[in-house]
Chain A
Amino acid sequence: MTTARIAGPPVLSRTRRRRLWLNWRGASLIVALALLVELLVQTRVVDFQYVPAPSAVIGAGWRLLASGRLLSDTGHTLSAALLGWAIGSAAGIVLGIWLGLSRWARRFGLTSVEVLRAIPGIAFVPVVILIFGFTITMEVVTILFVCVWPVLVNAVAGAQAVTAVHDDVARTLQLSRLQRVFAITLPTAVPYIATGMKLGLSTSLALAVVAEMVGNPAGLGYSIVYFQGALQPASMFAVIVWIGLLGLALNLLYELLTGRLSTVRTGLAEAR
């Protein structure tokens, strides 16, 4: 599914802050493309039975929003995604730090990690359905199983990024093993873990939708399938666009929350 990237050096540039602002030129292209599609569909240059005009999609979206259905579906999908993401991230942090610190654990564990994370998360959906049935638990389990890997792999890298000098400092000040983990290893790994969690967050929404399309009949994923079956392409597209906006909002929120955390590091990068 997602390739778990390893975080680069924990240096955040100024462009990161700027990216939070709306890019007007980028937004205008989207509007222009939508207008073009509108034109092509209205003039019947493009004439597929199930390709609705953007105006129809907006109308359908508005009706779904007004009926409350879109919001309750969103609530369901988001709770599954965020819960799976949170549990998966927590497991990824604990396991990743452990693997990063213990050569013994790496020797035994890394092969399993590489094999398991190479399997696309979607492949497990039928298995998870068999075990948990058509429930929200099934969604959460699918999501957490996918979210755990990018966090785990980055946490391993983060735990191993502790500098030689910091290691020596811990030794000369005679810190205990546990103190080293909390005072040095974890803080060093934070920017790496944050990168892994960001990758996991976008994956969690994707997997929630997939799990609802083929498994648990609820939430936004099921709505897409439902409107497909009901031959209502405008509503179907409205849900799809809505999911895109949701993903965007999640990323933005995450950047805002972690941006606060990273001010220390930004300052550090500037001081260097």
Chain B
Amino acid sequence: MNDAQPHAATSTAQLLFACRDVAIDFAGPQGVKTVLEGVSFEAGRGEFISIVGASGTGKTTLLRILAGLSSPRPGSIVEYRGAPVQDPPDGVVFVFQDYRGSLLPWRTVQRNVTLGLERSRLDRRERERKAMDALGLVGLADRAKDHPWRLSGGMQQRVQIARALVMQPQALLMDEPFGALDAMTKASLQDEVLRLHEVTHTTVLFVTHDIEEAVYLSDRVIVLSESPARITADIRIDLPRPREQVATRESPEYLALRHRVYSAMGKA
């Protein structure tokens, strides 16, 4: 399949992430299990890339390796802006699937958002102003003084996104961020993320098991096979932007791309 050819980023100067032969093993009750094997791809600055695959294939693990939260098998090459990733690199922020568990319940929404700014030299007023700006971007400025548990699931995930945005990241690594949300909330958050991507030009790596979501959002969709996970397809999604929930999803190009991703996953 030609789809397996990785797309080279336009030029090395614009390269943000580079992975070569990334592998990882987990020790389990049935001995060592290889979760990822020979995963290679590059992500350019400003790209929106989705990583899809059946559940349990290692999509999250791959994202955690890029974020410096998990260590791959020695010999794997993972680089962010040309430097090997060991600890979480500057400018890379992870957005967790478990939004409720990732917020600090004892802090207000605003103080959750300032959390990442507290080691900077900004004074309190400046931090709070930035937090309000970020909350404004996700439409939650009026809930700044509430505690997270007063908010709906979709709003809590927005808070987590604001907490990431306030760091002005080069790359957002989002791990099934909308997996636990209802269809309506999911659609509105998808559009919100697209809008934020357009405004901030942040690179987004987006893990999901929802193929429609991946095609709708992305510039590229990377398909992982099942265990051990390898990249079986890297499909460019050249749908025009801005995208629109109804029009885009009804266009023949969208349907054709959706078909290709489904085939790559062996589901069509």
A residues with CB within 8 A of B? 163, 165-166, 168-169, 171-176, 179, 183-184, 187, 190, 264-265, 267-268, 271
Return chain B residues, CB-CB under 8 Å to A264: 105-106, 147
Provide the residues of chain A in CB contact with B102, threshold 8 Å.
165-166, 168-169
Asked if B149 and A268 make an inter-chain contact with CB atoms under 8 angstroms apart, the answer reads: yes
Most chain B CB within a 10 A radius of its CB, from A187, A265, A271: A271
A267 to B96 alpha-carbon distance, docked (Å): 23
Q: Which residues of B contact A175 (CB under 8 A)?
A: 115-116, 118-119
Partner of A173, one of B68, B98, B105, B167: B167
| Residues 90-117 of B at the A interface (beta carbon under 8 Å) | 90, 92-94, 96, 98, 101-102, 104-107, 115-116
Q: How many chain B residues touch A (Cβ–Cβ < 8 Å)?
A: 26
A172 touches B150 (CB 8 A): no
Extra pairs beyond A166-B102, A172-B88, A173-B167 (12, CB < 8 Å): A165-B96, A166-B101, A166-B104, A168-B102, A169-B96, A169-B102, A171-B69, A173-B93, A173-B163, A264-B106, A264-B147, A267-B147
Contacts of B217 in A (CB 8 A): none
Residue of B nearest to A186 (CB): B106
CB within 8 Å for A265 and B105 given contacts A168-B69, A171-B88, A172-B88: yes
In the complex the two chains form, is A179's CB within 8 Å of B149's CB? no
Q: Report how far A190 CA is from B107 CA in the complex, Å.
A: 13
- Would you call B67 an interface residue if the criterion is a C-beta within 8 Å of the partner chain's C-beta atoms? yes
Q: Tell me which residues across on chain B come within 8 A of A163, comparing CB atoms.
A: 101
B35 to chain A, nearest CB (A): 18
Q: How far is the CA of A195 from the CA of B92 in the complex (A)?
A: 39
**A172 B90 Cβ-Cβ under 8 A:** no
Inter-chain CA distance A169–B148, complex, in Å, is 16
Q: For the complex, give the distance between the alpha carbons of A169 and B116 in Å.
A: 9
Bound-complex Cα distance A175 to B163 (A)? 13
B-to-A contact residues, CB < 8 Å = 67-69, 87-88, 90, 92-94, 96, 98, 101-102, 104-107, 115-116, 118-119, 147, 149-150, 163, 167
- Contacts known (A168-B69, A264-B105); A174 close to B90, Cβ less than 8 A: yes
| CB-nearest residue of chain B to A169 | B102
Which label, helix, strand, loop or mixed, suits the secondary structure of the B interface? loop
CA distance A171 to B69 in the complex (A): 7
A150 CA to B101 CA, complexed, in Å: 28
> What are 13 A-to-B residue pairs whose CB atoms are below 8 Å?
A169-B102, A171-B68, A171-B87, A172-B67, A172-B88, A172-B93, A174-B88, A174-B116, A175-B119, A187-B107, A268-B105, A268-B147, A271-B149
Contact of B69 among A172, A184, A267 (CB under 8 A): A172
Docked-complex contact A168 and B118, CB < 8 angstroms: no
Across the interface, which residues of B come within 8 angstroms of A187, CB to CB? 104, 106-107
Contact A165 B98 (CB under 8 A): yes
A residues in contact with B118, CB < 8 Å: 175, 179, 183
Q: Within 8 Å CB of B87, what residues of A?
A: 171
Q: How far is the CA of A179 from the CA of B167 in the complex (A)?
A: 16
Across the two chains, which residue of chain A brings its CB closest to B97? A165
Look across to chain A and name the residue whose beta carbon is closest to the beta carbon of B99.
A165
Which residue, A172, A187, A264, has most C-beta atoms of chain B within 10 A? A172
> With a CB–CB cut-off of 8 A, which chain A residues contact B93?
172-173
Q: How far is the CA of A68 from the CA of B105 in the complex (A)?
A: 48
User: How near does chain A come to B225, taking the closest CB pair, in angstroms?
Assistant: 26
The distance in angstroms between the C-alpha atoms of A163 and B262, with both chains bound, is: 36
Tell me how far the C-beta of B217 lies from the nearest C-beta in chain A, rounded to whole angstroms.
21
Nearest B-chain residue to A172, judged by Cβ: B94
